[in-house]
Amino acid sequence: MTKYDPHAIEPKWQAAWESEGLYHVSEDPSRPKKYVLEMFPYPSGDIHMGHVRNYTIGDVVARHSTMNGMNVLHPIGWDAFGLPAENAAIKSDSHPATWTYANIETQAASFRRMGFSYDWDRTVRTCDPEFYRWGQWIFLKFWERGLVERKSSPVNWCPSCKTVLANEQVIGEGVCWRCKSVVQKRELEQWFLKITEYAQELLDDLDTLTGWPERVKAMQANWIGRSEGAEVEFTLCDTAGDPTEQRITVFTTRPDTLFGCSFFLLAPEHPLIGELVAGTEYEANVRGIVDMAAKETSVERSSSDRTKRGAFTGRYVINPVNGEKVPVWVADYVLMEYGTGAVMAVPSGDQRDFDFARFYGLPIPPVVLAEDDPLLPELAGAHERVRADVPWDNAYDAGGILVQSGEFTGMRGGKKSEAMHAVTAWLAERGLGRETVNFRLRDWLISRQRYWGNPIPAVHCPTCGLVPVPEDELPVVLPMNVDITKGETLADHPEFYETTCPKCGGAARRETDTMDTFTCSSWYYLRYCDARNDDAPFDPAAVGYWMPVDQYIGGIEHAILHLLYSRFYTKVLRDVGLCDFGEPFTNLLTQGMVKLDGATMSKSKGNVVAPEDMIARYGADALRAYILFMAPPDKDLDWSYDGLEGMRRFLNRAWKLVDEVAAMPASSGVSGHGAAAKALRRAAAAAIAKCGGDIERFQLNTAISALMEYVNAVYDYRRDVPAGSQDNALLRAAARDLVMLMAPFTPHMAEELWRTVLCEDGSVHRQSWPRFDPSALVSNEIELPVQVNGKVRGRVVVAADASEETVVAAALALPNVVAHTTGKTVKKVVVVPGRLVSIVVG
């Protein structure tokens, strides 16, 4: 008899697996491949429960896939550039690299203690020059394709992180994703990747991602924000009110409401404003609005319930459909970064315009009326404007009948309506507008004014302008002598930035911004396929073999950020010719968060449960099984110690069972034919079927309950059959099956039971997933519930192949069924074979 001692067996097998190279993989065309990937960690310290959950889920999937005969790639690495390293370095008066590499070592040790089946030969650390050099190389490919742009625009500035941020990194109420500071808008020249060129494809291809959660696809579609509509050109008038040559274009989703445009709006940041009002009596008022808008944070600016403010510019534009002159105002609710920064205001059809019109006493001519609108009898058929106000309290923005709309009067208006297409066509014929599509998605701002990142491989030459660093000069190495504790960046190091132009050879200045860390995570999964390649980011053949990732697992917080950027990178690399697929992740599992008392765990809140403590007390196997058993993987989970003891109890029971069976003589000479043996065979078949199926469906919590039920069933057999009459061969087969089923969840314990206790050959992790005998699930007698008027009133036991008449007769004969049917007429009897009998009486 041996005792289950996780602390003795776990380190033993971790070392053995490593020396045996058990998890080392290479391309093998003879087996189906499977790429199982968990989002790589940021080395912020030791691992937390979220990591334990994420990587355990992936490990179970990887191990189960291997046992099912697949060639499984299951790598790990570190997303190692980024601000926390700088902050930590400042705090501890050291270098970001020191902190980062130390944390990587700590985390790697913890991962080893968890028993994860990684191929450590493929590890990447994004702060290693061997990795980031290829990130720079890919950047140059983007540049060659015209997807890199340096431009001035209003950008998000985090005052605490002292850098600009991408739109995707501004979250919630306009705060920095990392430090939660309120973000400011600044007009700055920055580096962008033109993700907007792929907006339509990124949206369309969401439909092909059938293995992704709807939630994530909805969030991405929402973020991309496609709007169908039209561009409409308004002719600008001079100060005297006469038409000029200049036109201002607006974007609208409702060209059908064009006849209801009674004023015209410009964003406070609109470049035309200065010249429109310069030297006029309106200048002071307009400047007031512009200055006020500039002062406000984006949060203040975007709260929709505040009073909208604006000022008349003194100018007019001509509405192309009716030639009407409408006043041009500047308004603080118009955004420069969406559409064209100019808006045609239709107050009867848009709540914001309505509020603005009411506040400033501007006309509100109705143009689209609901069928039951009291105004309709009066205005139906009115082609010319007879009314410039409405008796409403709110704008009407749904579909309806057009009135006061010239030749379009009487048509149906609304989004994607007849009138919308008719008006747009009318404009297009005259060169005054066209159908168009607008996206909410903005280009990806990738430059960061920070040290600890991948240097942008570019040179500013006074003669040649922006020049890419030639490929053979890569990598642009991030120098280690930058002292960020003194607030230094690359811009403080002339020996870094002083260089010569690769084109003309003249004195030039190297770019000192680094790239957003999300550029690293946008392609790391490709590097795993060929991680040690020194001649290219990866061998297309290796990527062709392993990619796309068959199962990706990670947190929902990357629903937009990382998952959108990676999709973009993949599509560009496909167009570059480095791969032949456009989507990197075929199936995605977004695992729920691990919380404590409903709150996210964090070091700053001090509510962290340390996995290392749990490993020390209960062992890694118990922790793995427990965190999976607590909740389905995709749901949030509130950490509790309550069931951990119970999980250890289960592992002890399973251990004891296998240990006892292993100690029995190989054969008892008894062959189990009785009901107990039959029940045991059935339990084994049910466990194998359920456990495997549940893993494939990611119902890992019920997969573990299937194991528990199986263990209970074997104990039932041991209890119910007298010691001398037990079928030892049957029990040994049951124990073997159990150990193999447990292998993905509790790999160390399963290995010890397999190799040491059961004395089987080879590793349990190299075994084929057990097969089950479907005939064991078939029994000759079945028990059917009998319902009377929908309520269960009894059960009949009948032969499995009994005829319907027999079943009905037996059901109707049940005493309790008789009691509920006497005095009533049996109207109908439904027999669902193998399921139930339903009797309807009345």
Residues 540-579 touching RNA, rule: CB under 7 A, are: 556, 559-560
Site for RNA in 195-234 (CB under 7 A): 214-215, 218-219, 222-223, 225, 227, 229
- How many other C-beta atoms can be found within 10 angstroms of the C-beta atom of residue 27? 16
CB of 343 to RNA, least distance (A): 5
Site for RNA in 327-366 (CB under 7 A): 332-336, 338-339, 341, 343-344, 346, 350, 352
Q: Which of 203, 255, 208 is nearest to 439 (CA)?
A: 203
Question: In this complex, which beta carbon is closest to RNA, that of residue 56 or of residue 512?
Answer: 56
N residues, the chain: 842
Applying CB under 7 A, the span of 317-325, 450-458, 506-514, 637-645 interacting with RNA comes to: 637-645
Cα torsion at 649, 653, 654, 660 (round to 10°)?
150
Binding characters for RNA, 792-811, by CB under 7 A (x = yes): xx-x----------------
201: tokens are 């494809």
Applying CB under 7 A, the span of 122-130, 402-410, 508-516, 833-841 interacting with RNA comes to: 833-841
Q: How many CA atoms lie within 13 A of 185 on its CB side?
A: 17
Question: In this complex, which beta carbon is closest to RNA, that of residue 102 or of residue 840?
Answer: 840
Q: Quote the CA–CA distance of 41 and 52 in Å, as a whole number.
A: 11
**Residue 628 CA: distances (Å) to CA of 53, 554, 639, 696, 709:** 7, 15, 12, 14, 16
842 lies in the binding site for RNA (CB under 7 A): no
- Buried-state track 220-250, b at ≥16 Cβ within 10 A, e below 16: beebbeeeebbbbbbbbbeeeeeeeeeebbb
516 lies in the binding site for RNA (CB under 7 A): no
Q: Please select the residue that binds RNA; options are 92, 246, 297, 302, rule is CB under 7 A.
A: 302
436 lies in the binding site for RNA (CB under 7 A): no
238 lies in the binding site for RNA (CB under 7 A): no
816 lies in the binding site for RNA (CB under 7 A): yes
CB of 835 to RNA, least distance (A): 4
742 lies in the binding site for RNA (CB under 7 A): no
Binding characters for RNA, 593-632, by CB under 7 A (x = yes): ------------------------------------xxxx
Phi, psi for residue 765 in degrees, rounded to 5: -75, -5
Site for RNA in 126-185 (CB under 7 A): 171-172
As beta bridge partners, residue 326 has 317
836 lies in the binding site for RNA (CB under 7 A): yes
Site for RNA in 654-693 (CB under 7 A): none
Residue 585 DSSP code: B
CB of 244 to RNA, least distance (A): 23
642 lies in the binding site for RNA (CB under 7 A): yes
695 lies in the binding site for RNA (CB under 7 A): no
Q: Quote the CA–CA distance of 22 and 312 in Å, as a whole number.
A: 75
Phi, psi for residue 520 in degrees, rounded to 5: -70, -45
CB of 529 to RNA, least distance (A): 31
Site for RNA in 25-44 (CB under 7 A): none
CB of 444 to RNA, least distance (A): 15
Strand arrangement of the beta sheet that strand 184-193 belongs to:
163-165, 148-158, 184-193, 444-445
Determine the straight-line distance between the first and last CA of the chain, rounded to whole angstroms.
Answer: 64
Amino acid in the structure at residue 615: I
Question: Site size for RNA, by CB under 7 A?
Answer: 86
Q: How many CA atoms lie within 13 A of 202 on its CB side?
A: 30
3 lies in the binding site for RNA (CB under 7 A): no
Q: Which of 358, 344, 269 is nearest to 308 (CA)?
A: 358
CB of 331 to RNA, least distance (A): 8
419: tokens are 């009138």
CB of 324 to RNA, least distance (A): 18
196: tokens are 């907007």
CB of 88 to RNA, least distance (A): 25
Question: In this complex, which beta carbon is closest to RNA, that of residue 96 or of residue 339?
Answer: 339
Question: In this complex, which beta carbon is closest to RNA, that of residue 226 or of residue 493?
Answer: 226
Question: In this complex, which beta carbon is closest to RNA, that of residue 22 or of residue 810?
Answer: 810
Residue carrying the six token digits 């109707």: 812
632: tokens are 């389905």
